[in-house]
Amino acid sequence: MGFFLTMRSKIVATRYEYYKARVREHRRLAAQAMHPEDRAMHEQLVKTYTGLAREHRLRQVFTLKVARDMPRASVA
């Protein structure tokens, strides 16, 4: 991945990791918020960053190769 961000002197290699870090940060801030408006704002940011993290999570790609010289399996 060519995407790097610096976060408190720690290198975050992917957007997914960056967004997950923001989710953790805003969850903590929501839990510590004194005013309901502040808590609501941080909870909204948690939802937003969670959606962004979901969009940027890594997906495994599987490749299946079928050999042409293998006999076909019969289906009963």
Tokens of 46: 């948690």
pLDDT of the chain, 76 residues: tens digit per residue: 445 555 555 665 789 999 999 999 999 999 999 999 999 999 999 999 999 999 988 776 667 777 776 666 655 5
Q: What is the DSSP string of 26-65?
A: HHHHHHH-SSHHHHHHHHHHHHHHHHHHHHH---------
pTM over 0.95: no
Instruction: Give the span between the Cα atoms of 73 and 58, in whole angstroms.
Output: 34
Tokens of 52: 């962004």
Instruction: Give the span between the Cα atoms of 15 and 34, in whole angstroms.
Output: 30
Instruction: Give the span between the Cα atoms of 74 and 26, in whole angstroms.
Output: 56
